[in-house]
């Protein structure tokens, strides 16, 4: 194996790993967001509105 | 150019933020708690966010700081820079040489936090090395070396070589990539 071949092999492995990282990550991104976060944002918004109204 | 209210924009980034939290904590309940803390901190510190800059990177930074400070507080910092815990891990390629995505995930989860986050930031979520370095508060070279060490460890665990098929599959139906990229045996 020449040095160049070894280098190609490494690049290929890095590409293979990154490709799978993207798959794992995109599966996670596509998961449904739990309702608690939408509820949380609604609560935070309501609190802000109360603050503003009080002033 | 008008910018959206950053508080509205935050919702768009939650799926990515949660994915980052899941990769970092490897635990759904902990990840969701981290995301919740991050949302509250970001919301109440919104004046510190510079409109027009990368909100996702800002949120990732908050989440990361939250994670590491709670890990310190819980005093369960696992000093395992070399990933020695994986000694018990057995990940073998399928008989046909293909790597299963589940095996990949298992191997990935055994990497030390610093390597996992570097790989997720630059390898998976498409941040530049510079952005990843900003998020983690370290030098660009440090991120590069963490990502490289992570890739090297995965290569070792998954027994990858230059001839490994380009696709990892969840089943054995994927045709073997012909040619093998010209790598000599």
Helix (H) or strand (E) holding A39: helix A35-54
Domain carrying residue A24: 3-54
Q: Which pLDDT value is given to residue B52?
A: 83
- C-alpha closest to that of A34 among B21, B54, B62, B113: B21
Q: Packing angle between helix B6-25 and helix B28-44, nearest 10 degrees?
A: 150
Q: Which of B20, B25, B26, B123 to mutate to test the interface with A (most CBs of A within 10 A)?
A: B123
Q: Which pLDDT value is given to residue B87?
A: 44
Mean of the per-residue pLDDT values of chain B: 80
Answering whether pTM is above 0.90, one says no
Which pair of structure tokens corresponds to residue A37?
Answer: 């976060």
For A24-52, the pLDDT digits (tens) are 999 999 999 999 998 999 999 999 888 88
Contacts of B121 (CB under 8 A, 6+ apart): B20, B60, B127, B131, B132, B135, B136, B143
Check CB contact under 8 Å for B160 and A13: yes
Q: Which pLDDT value is given to residue B164?
A: 64
For B26-70, the pLDDT digits (tens) are 999 999 999 999 999 999 999 999 988 899 999 999 999 999 998
Q: Which pLDDT value is given to residue B94?
A: 53
Of the candidate ranges B41-45, B136-140, B165-169, the one whose mean pLDDT is the lowest: B165-169
Q: What CA–CA distances, in Å, run from B104 to A29, A47, B100, B167?
A: 18, 44, 6, 12
Read off the pLDDT of each residue in B128-150 and give the average, rounded to a whole number. Answer: 96
Å from A39 to nearest chain B CA?
Answer: 11
Q: Round to whole Å and give the CA distance between A15 and B102.
A: 18
Residue the block writes with tokens 């992570």:
B150
Which of B10, B19, B166 lies closest to A25 in CB terms? B19
- The domains found in chain B, sorted by start residue, are 1-75 (1.10.1740.10), 90-173 (1.10.10.10)
Which pair of structure tokens corresponds to residue B149?
Answer: 């060490």
Asked if B128 contacts B54 with a C-beta cutoff of 8 angstroms, the reply is no
- Say whether residue B104 is in contact with chain A using an 8 A CB cutoff: yes
Check CB contact under 8 Å for A37 and B40: no
- Say whether residue B33 is in contact with chain A using an 8 A CB cutoff: no
Of the candidate ranges B2-11, B51-60, B172-181, the one whose mean pLDDT is the lowest: B172-181
Instruction: Pick the residue from chain A with its C-alpha nearest to B157.
Output: A17
For B80-118, the pLDDT digits (tens) are 544 444 444 555 555 555 568 889 999 999 999 999 999
- Say whether residue A46 is in contact with chain B using an 8 A CB cutoff: no
First vs last C-alpha separation in chain A? 75
Give yes or no for residue B140 having a pLDDT over 80.
yes
Residue the block writes with tokens 């008989």:
B95
Give yes or no for residue B177 having a pLDDT over 90.
no
Residue B169's pLDDT band (cuts 50, 70, 90): low
Number of domains composing chain A = 1
Check CB contact under 8 Å for B108 and A24: yes
Q: Round to whole Å and give the CA distance between A50 and A45.
A: 9
Contacts of B170 (CB under 8 A, 6+ apart): B100, B101, B102
Which pair of structure tokens corresponds to residue B41?
Answer: 């901190």
The more confident residue out of B161 and B85 is B161
Q: Which pLDDT value is given to residue B18?
A: 96
Check CB contact under 8 Å for A21 and B124: yes
Q: Round to whole Å and give the CA distance between A29 and A33.
A: 9
The more confident residue out of B154 and B70 is B154
């Amino acid at each position: 194996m020449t040095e160049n071949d070894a280098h190609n092999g490494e690049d290929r492995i890095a590409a293979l790993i990154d490709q799978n990282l993207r798959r794992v990550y995109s599966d996670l991104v596509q998961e449904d967001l739990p309702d608690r976060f939408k509820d949380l944002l609604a609560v935070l918004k309501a609190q802000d509105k109360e603050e503003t109204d009080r002033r | 150019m008008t910018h959206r209210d950053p508080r509205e924009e935050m919702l768009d980034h939650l799926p990515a933020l949660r994915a980052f939290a899941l990769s970092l904590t490897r635990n759904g309940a902990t990840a969701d708690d981290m995301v919740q803390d991050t949302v509250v901190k970001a919301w109440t510190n919104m004046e510190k966010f510079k409109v027009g800059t990368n909100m996702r990177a800002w949120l990732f930074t908050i989440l990361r700081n939250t994670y590491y400070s709670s890990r310190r507080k819980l005093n369960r910092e696992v000093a395992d820079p070399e990933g020695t815990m994986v000694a018990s891990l057995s990940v073998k390629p399928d008989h046909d040489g293909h790597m299963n995505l589940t095996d990949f995930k298992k191997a990935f989860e055994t990497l030390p936090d610093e390597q996992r986050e570097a790989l997720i930031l630059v390898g998976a979520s498409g941040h530049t090395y510079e952005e990843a370095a900003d998020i983690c508060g370290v030098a660009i070279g440090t991120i590069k070396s963490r990502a490289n060490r992570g890739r090297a460890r995965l290569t070792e665990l998954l027994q990858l070589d230059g001839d490994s098929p380009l696709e990892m599959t969840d089943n054995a139906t994927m045709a073997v990539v012909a040619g093998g990229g010209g790598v000599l045996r």
